[in-house]
Amino acid sequence: MNRHRDTAPAAEAVDHGRRRFLATGSLTVSFALVPGAAALAQRQTEDAAPTAAAGAARLPGNLSSTPLLDSWIRIDADGAITVYTGKAELGTGIRTAFIQIAAEELQVAPAAISLVTADTGLTPNEGYTAGSHSTADSGTAILNAAAQVRELLLASAAQKLGLEAGALEIRDGGVIAAPDGRTLDFGQAVEGLDLHRNAQPASRLVDPRRHKVIGTPMPRVDIPAKVAGGASYVQDMRLPGMLHARAVRAPSYGARLVSVDAASVEKLPGVVKVVRDGSYLAVAAEDEWQAIRAMRALTASAVWEETAVLPTPDTIYDTLLKLPAREIHVGERHGPADPAARTLHARFTKPYLAHGSIGPSCAVAHMEEGKLTVWTHAQGVFPLRGGLAEMLGMKPADIRCIHVPGAGCYGHNAADDVAADAALIARAVPGRPVRVQWMREQEHNCEPYGPAMITDVKASLDASGRVVDWQYEIWSNSHNQRIDNAGRLMPSNYLSTPFTPAPPKPIPMPEGGGDRNSLPLYNFANFNVQHHFLPDMPIRVSAHRGLGAFMNVFSIESFMDELAEAAGADPVEFRLRHLDDPRARDVIELTAKEFGWDPRRRRAPNRGVGFSFAQYKNLMSYMAIAVELEVVPETGDVHIERVVASVDTGQIVNPDGVRNQIEGGIIQSASWALYEQVRYDETRIRTYDWSTYPIMRFSDVPLKIDVHLIDRPGAPFLGAGEAAQGPTPAAIGNAIADATGRRLRDLPLAPRLRESYEA
């Protein structure tokens, strides 16, 4: 029996018998069971998962905040295995990876595992699926929970069979076998076994050398449906009586809806309701095309009073530099060093970047008898629930948010906003499910962007070509305006009683926000890093994949090349000169070798090679990348010919999954670095479609990408989702400098390259 619930948008019913810890709310009951637990706060990481309950701090991964084993694993009387994760499948393949992890430790076939992902009614609260924490924190929890459940099953079976647990083994098909031939299946073994107990700090994990599933390129369980039109996305949901809805968005931030002809739209065929609340405007209809036509009609008659004043695009960086800053001292080091022989200085800039999800955000909501269910591809169903509860004046317990995959979100896009739309409209048409789809222009125009940033670096070399001093500064808005309160849900800002977004809070290091990856991993004798955190946000911003890492690694790794050149050193050798961490050295050396990096190569006209390295957050995956490209001076076109990357993500669960993420991350961040910038003027955001926000198309995709993996069996999982976004842009910038002698420090690179030829 195929137990994969990978394509089931319809929600599993909450089993109150089993999941009794949810009786009065998921977290409060946990208090009672974990004596002395303090109020569960959120971890100060990007994923804001709950912090460890006292006494549970030593548990691996997110077991520390959700210590009960049956929060993670359920074995039914018929032997069916269900694994729960508070993380969501965003398209990175973690659904498959977690199935592999559970299958490995439970010693069953992957097909025997049903995985339930983020659902406030069913799963642990693991905060947001973000920051590459999924495998590291949830995967680790599942790894250990599964191992411990396995041992408990064996112990229970042993007791039933009157044997020692060590005499039993688990065979194919989840069968517990005794030497004398007697067998029990999991359903039989679990009888009388209460998994409603805390995990232990240590687990008997399967020896990595004997892994049968972890470390194998198991094909993703969700791909067959996606290539053949199976229902896979929240966009594919069809509930009985479901209405289609569209929101009508303000043309600029904070605009006031002065008037609109709702009456004639209400008479249009199929229109069920026009929802107007202050400046919030939406329409629901029986059919989707009717909803779109109604939206267009409302848009045509709507009169808005606009007051937004946006920064002048040509001077945005000057504007940001002058904003009031909250000073954050990120880190420093002092040590003896030889005197400085040469000092270099550079400033780098990054524009606002859009997430650019191919599928604009969508949500389905159903208000029935005072209870609300929302199907959403938001990254954090628990925080979303909290925000919706506040917005609607409801109790969180009366709201259930269920994650259903959408298109890739790459951070905080409009997924939470559209859930708010769906909730507001569902409230206006109780009893009928409502599906809200944002239009392309709404997604591009209204979503929160990755913030514009400025970095400034000054470093000195001694006479022997070693960096002796490094001063680094960052100016940036918050990279995390997630759902701390209802006001963070944009539709709530337009209600007649509007909600105000909670003030921005920086994410502290070691995770960081704008300062993520700003501490150099290199062994500089002296460094100082300062983050000028800018609370005023003239343009709506939030988390964009990798947060500050993209810009900080671009800056650091570009500047390392500038220093290497000043030192007369080869870029690869220069980096190795300053790195002790053997895992960092490994990826650098492997990339250089596989690329054929030749320190003595001659520079061919208009062709260049570039190198770059980073360890994500200085904590997670290591990646080194080399790029070879050609520049066409007459057009400023950049043709990336080949890319070689090596990555160390700790213990690899699914090597093909890692490769897919790294290849994808290389192309995605190459597009960010080469082409992307949000367009705006002093009154409105002007990016509204792909022509005003072009991204890389097939014509510009690299001709060849090779990813080499370094597996560390038994080591902690480090996460692959954001490993490539840091180092890739610098490798490209370094290769362009190698090809043309032009050092580009302002993103995006392609227009700057063209401009440099026109000068």
Partner 1 sequence: MVTLTVNGVKHDLDIDPSMPLLYALRNHLQLNGAKYGCGLGQCGACTVIVDGKPVFSCLTPVSSVGSRPVRTVEGLGTPQQPSPLQQAFIDKQAAQCGYCIAGMIMRAQALLDERPGATEAEIREHMQPNLCRCGTHMRIVSAIVAASQALPKRQADNDAPALAGASRQENQA
Partner 2 sequence: MSSKKKIAWTAAAVVIAGAIAACTYAWQPAIAPLAQAPAASDDRALLAMGARLAELGDCMHCHTGKSGKPYAGGAPLATPFGTIYATNITPDVETGIGGWTLEAFARALRKGVSRDGHLLYPAFPYPHFTRMSDEDIAALYAYLMARTPVHAPAVPNELVFPLNFRPLVAGWNLLFLDEGPLPPPAQQQSDAWLRGRYLAEGPGHCASCHTPMNALGAEKRGEPYAGGLIDGWDVPPLNALNQARKPWTVDQLSAYLRTGVASEHSAASGPMRPVAHHLGNAPESDVRAIATYLLSLSPAAPAQPAAPASAPAADTQILKPGKALFDASCAGCHAAAAPMRTLGERPALELGSTLNTDSPRNAIQMVLNGNPWAGSSAAHYMPPFGSVLTDRQIADVLAYARAAYAQRPAWNDLPAAVAAIRKENSK
Q: Which residues bind partner 2 (CB under 8 A)?
A: 251, 293, 296, 299-300, 439, 441, 445, 605-606, 632-635, 637, 671, 674-675, 684-686, 688-692, 694-697, 699-700, 750, 754, 757-759
308 vs 579, beta carbon nearer partner 2: 308
Q: Does 637 bind partner 1 (CB under 8 A)?
A: no
Pairing of β 113-116 and β 169-171 = unpaired
Q: How far is the CB of 662 from partner 1 (least distance, A)?
A: 9
- Backbone dihedral region of 103: left (phi > 0), alpha (psi from -120 to 50 degrees) or beta? alpha
Which of 665, 727, 729, 733 binds partner 1 (CB under 8 A)? It is: 665
Q: Identify whether the C-beta of residue 400 lies closer than 8 Å to the C-beta of residue 121.
A: yes
Q: How far is the CB of 699 from partner 2 (least distance, A)?
A: 5
228 vs 759, beta carbon nearer partner 2: 759
218 vs 490, beta carbon nearer partner 2: 490
247 vs 429, beta carbon nearer partner 2: 247
At 478, which amino acid appears?
Answer: S
Q: Does 641 bind partner 1 (CB under 8 A)?
A: no
- d(C-alpha 334, C-alpha 316), whole Å: 34
Q: Which residues between 110 and 149 bind partner 1 (CB under 8 A)?
A: none
Name the residue among 613, 676, 608 with its Cα closest to residue 641.
608
Reading the block at residue 313, the tokens are 């695009």
Length of the chain counted residue by residue: 759
Number of chain residues interacting with partner 1 (CB under 8 A)? 62
Q: Which residues between 61 and 100 bind partner 1 (CB under 8 A)?
A: 90-93
The 10 Å Cβ neighbour count of residue 70 is: 18
Give 730's contacts (C-beta < 8 A, 6+ positions apart). Answer: 553, 554, 555, 556, 557, 558, 561, 610, 612
144 vs 437, beta carbon nearer partner 1: 437
> Across the strands, what pairs with 531?
328, 474
222 vs 570, beta carbon nearer partner 1: 222
* In the block, residue with structure tokens 């269910």: 373
- The dihedral through the CA atoms of 678, 384, 120, 62 has a sign that is positive
Q: How far is the CB of 363 from partner 2 (least distance, A)?
A: 21
150: part of which helix (H) or strand (E)? helix 140-161
Name the residue among 262, 258, 290, 293 with its Cα closest to residue 276.
262
Q: What is the CB-side half-sphere exposure of residue 641 using CA atoms within 13 A?
A: 14
Question: Which span (188-196, 344-352, 404-412, 449-457) binds partner 1, by CB under 8 A?
Answer: 404-412
Q: Which residues between 284 and 323 bind partner 1 (CB under 8 A)?
A: 287-290
Residue 689 has φ and ψ, to the nearest 5°, of: -160, -175
- d(C-alpha 191, C-alpha 647), whole Å: 44
- Backbone dihedral region of 567: left (phi > 0), alpha (psi from -120 to 50 degrees) or beta? alpha
Q: Identify whether the C-beta of residue 506 lies closer than 8 Å to the C-beta of residue 533.
A: yes
Q: Does 231 bind partner 1 (CB under 8 A)?
A: yes
Q: Using CB distances below 5 to 8 A depending on partner kind, what does residue 225 bind out of partner 1, partner 2, none? A: partner 1
Q: Using CB distances below 5 to 8 A depending on partner kind, what does residue 261 bind out of partner 2, partner 1, none? A: none
Q: Using CB distances below 5 to 8 A depending on partner kind, what does residue 358 bind out of partner 1, partner 2, none? A: partner 1
44 vs 692, beta carbon nearer partner 2: 692
696 vs 737, beta carbon nearer partner 1: 696
Binding mask 582-621 for partner 1 (x = CB under 8 A): ----------------------------------------
704: part of which helix (H) or strand (E)? strand 704-710
Q: Does 236 bind partner 1 (CB under 8 A)?
A: yes
- Binding residues for partner 1, per CB under 8 A? 90-93, 217, 219-220, 222-233, 235-236, 238, 244, 269, 287-290, 356-360, 405-408, 410, 437, 439-440, 656-657, 660-661, 663-668, 671, 689-691, 695, 697-699, 701-702, 705
